[in-house]
């Protein structure tokens, strides 16, 4: 089970608000609203029509719900932020948790990889508690509700617009200087992993640029476990008679 922390996870309205505005204050401004208000406000700017305008029937299935015009992805006008989130979830670039609709567990749990590509968003504005649901195409039923997304994944996939690439690259280079020395070098893979996790708004291309600027003396040579050997000076040789 995944422990949900508001500072660590964003729900769909908060995620969409970030994608549309890249403004953490705007995200924080809607965090205390009820779920229905948050969803309406986040989607208003996207002009997204709901896939389901009324709640499911008494059985909990989708029977009897007022459906909007079907789209290829089956979740209404999934353009902009909502559609982007679904794509990132399907590609495993953004991790998602949700609550099971069958009542077997009440808490947020990470959605298994085997289920991801079978799921689509269903947006139900008439539901005051959980207006965002996950629809199983194979089972033709609503199977999960209240999805949440790892904030770090979201910010990494949709970096702040006012964060220039050069600034991010410079921040990564500075961090590399902090975590790597000629006496204690890291492999490129380990340095990349740490930078993407520890530098705000870091992304692979910015790391690549920073790594190219990093002094060779700080890098670990391939197949070696110590600092690079400076080959610029010829080795000392003792000439025998």
DSSP 188-213: HHHHHHHHHHHSTT--HHHHHHHHHH
As a whole number of angstroms, the distance between CA 87 and CA 79 comes to 11
As a whole number of angstroms, the distance between CA 159 and CA 19 comes to 9
pLDDT lower than 50: segments of the chain = 1-5, 48-79, 224-233, 237-241
Give the model's pLDDT for residue 168: 85
Non-local CB neighbours of 165 within 8 Å, separated by 6+ positions? 205, 206, 209
As a whole number of angstroms, the distance between CA 159 and CA 206 comes to 12
Assess contact for 142 and 101: CB atoms under 8 A. yes
Alpha helices (H) in the chain, listed in sequence order:
12-21, 24-30, 35-44, 80-90, 113-116, 151-157, 165-179, 188-198, 204-213
Non-local CB neighbours of 60 within 8 Å, separated by 6+ positions? 101, 141, 142
165-179 and 204-213 helices, crossing angle to 10°:
60
Give the model's pLDDT for residue 126: 81
Give the model's pLDDT for residue 35: 86
Beta bridge partners of 121: 134
Q: What is the signed CA dihedral for 161, 79, 84, 99, rounded to 10 degrees? A: 120
Query: What is the separation of C-alpha 65 from the centre of its chain, rounded to a whole number of angstroms?
Result: 31
> Where are the domains positioned within the chain?
9-156, 163-218
Give the model's pLDDT for residue 44: 74
């Amino acid at each position: 089970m995944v422990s949900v922390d508001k500072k660590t996870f964003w729900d769909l309205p908060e995620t969409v608000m970030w994608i549309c505005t890249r403004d953490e204050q705007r995200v924080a401004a809607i965090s205390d609203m009820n779920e229905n208000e948050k969803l309406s406000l986040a989607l208003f700017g996207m002009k997204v029509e709901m896939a389901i305008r009324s709640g499911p029937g008494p059985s909990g299935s989708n029977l009897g719900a007022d459906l909007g015009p079907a789209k290829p992805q089956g979740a209404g006008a999934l353009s902009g932020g909502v559609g982007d989130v679904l794509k990132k979830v399907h590609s495993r670039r953004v991790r998602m948790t949700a609550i099971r609709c069958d009542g077997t567990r009440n808490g947020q749990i990470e959605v298994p990889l085997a289920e991801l590509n079978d799921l689509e968003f269903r947006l139900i504005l008439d539901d005051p508690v959980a207006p965002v649901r996950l629809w199983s195409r194979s089972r033709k039923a609503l199977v999960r509700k209240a999805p949440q997304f790892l904030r770090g994944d979201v910010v990494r996939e949709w970096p702040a617009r006012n964060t220039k690439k050069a600034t991010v690259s410079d921040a990564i280079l500075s961090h590399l200087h902090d975590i790597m020395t000629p006496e204690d070098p890291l492999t490129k893979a380990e340095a990349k992993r740490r930078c993407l996790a520890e530098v705000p708004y870091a992304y692979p291309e910015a790391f690549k640029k920073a790594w190219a600027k990093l002094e060779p003396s700080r890098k670990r040579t391939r197949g070696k476990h110590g600092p690079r050997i400076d080959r610029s000076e010829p080795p000392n040789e003792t000439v025998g008679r």
